[in-house]
Structure 1
Amino acid sequence: MAWEVFSFIGTAAFAISGALIAMEEKYDIFGVYILGMVTAFGGGAVRNVLLGLPASVLWSQNFLFIVASILITFIFFFSKTIINHWNRWGTYFDAIGLAAFAIQGAMLAVNMNMSLFAVMVAAVLTGAGGGVIRDLLAGRRPLVFKRDIYAVWAAGAGFFVGIGLHGNDWALYGLLVVVATLRILSYHYHWELPRSDS
């Protein structure tokens, strides 16, 4: 059950996130759909390829494609008010998508009996991959490369799933809230990782 919940939450959040950025960049309706879909499914596609799963798995997610299409359509036709508050709402949707997909990616790697390191990498790829593709297509510097802590929270989710948290659905839902909250806090308070001064 948790797998389906995280798939739904992540797909919905990232479809909205991608569509909002496309609208902010004044894309036409085709561009809005493309960016929304790429954001929603891009990270999972990259993860599957690197984990050795067939790329065709992506096309079996009919329900999620329908969900993403409905949400993207809604954003396209009713986005004026939302766009005015993009910095706030966009961050929230992106944080939720990051957390949900990071946990989902980690769960998949655990089910494939992969090492803890591989679980963490799968979490980062799934959680941040769609957002990276979205930002690159929109001509923006990806969030994962900015100062605010981003992918580290996905890796942390992968770590906790990898050490055994995956067996308890309610613990996973709690982890979703924690990771999303940490991402939002790191954005608002400008938490940063150590960096070279050279």
Structure 2
Amino acid sequence: MTWDVLSIIGTIAFAVSGAIVAMEEEYDILGVYILGIVTAFGGGAIRNLLIGVPISALWEQSVLFQIALFAMTTVFLFPQRLLKHWRKWGNLTDAIGLGAFAIQGALYASEMGHPVSAVVVAAVLTGSGGGIVRDLLAGRKPLVLREEIYAAWAILAGLAIGFGVVTSSVGYFTLFAFVVLFRVLSYTYKWKLPNKPVRFSDRSL
């Protein structure tokens, strides 16, 4: 039940996110559907390849594909005056997708008996892989690589599940709320991970 709910939440959130980005880039309706599908299912496809799940498993999710198509169609038909609020709520949609899919990916790898390292990688790829592909196709800098903390919250979710800190349905949804909340706080208050810019002058080359 937990798995199904998280899958539906993540699919809707990322399908809507991909559709809105496509509309911002002025893609036609086919582009909207393609970018939405890639965002919703791209991370899971990459995860499956890395942890040994046949890629054909993706095509067994017909219900989720239908949910994604319905969500994208609904967004595409939204009045323009409602879509103008997207910039305010877009990061929240990404945060919801990140939390739902990170936990879902971690659970997938954990139930297959993979080590903690694989559980963490599955959490990160499922939570952010689709968004990375979406941003690259839209010609944008991937959200996960920006200064604000993003993938770190997926890593924490993977660690919590991989080490058995969270093992119940209540715990999974509490972890989901935690990831969403701290992702929202990180972009609201501009929390950043340490970085070290390197610039070379022409003389040093």
- TM-score surpassing 0.5? yes
Aligned position for 2:191: 191
> 1:82 & 1:158 partners in 2: Cα distance?
35
Task: For residue 186 of structure 1, report the CA deviation from its aligned partner.
Answer: 0.5
Task: For residue 24 of structure 1, report the CA deviation from its aligned partner.
Answer: 1.0
Aligned position for 1:72: 72
> 2:82 & 2:131 partners in 1: Cα distance?
19
Structure 2: give runs of 5+ residues left out of the alignment.
199-205
Alignment of 1:174-189 (within 5 A): 174-189=174-189
> 2:167 & 2:188 partners in 1: Cα distance?
32
Structure whose CA Rg is larger: 2
CA deviation digits over 1:67-111, x for unaligned, max 9? Answer: 000010011111523431222211011000000000000001101
Quick one: which amino acid aligns to residue 147 of structure 2? R
Quick one: structure 1 residues 82 and 162, their matched pair in 2 at CA, closer, same or farther if it must change by over 3 Å? farther
> What TM-score does the superposition give when structure 2 sets the normalisation length?
0.94
Would you identify which runs of 4 or more consecutive aligned residues in structure 1 move more than 3 Å? none
Structure 1: give runs of 5+ residues left out of the alignment.
none
> 2:166 & 2:29 partners in 1: Cα distance?
39
- The CA RMSD measured in Å over matched residues stands at 1.0
Quick one: which amino acid aligns to residue 180 of structure 2? A
> 2:132 & 2:118 partners in 1: Cα distance?
20
Aligned position for 1:87: 87
Q: Percent identity?
A: 55
> 2:102 & 2:69 partners in 1: Cα distance?
22
Quick one: structure 1 residues 3 and 195, their matched pair in 2 at CA, closer, same or farther if it must change by over 3 Å? same
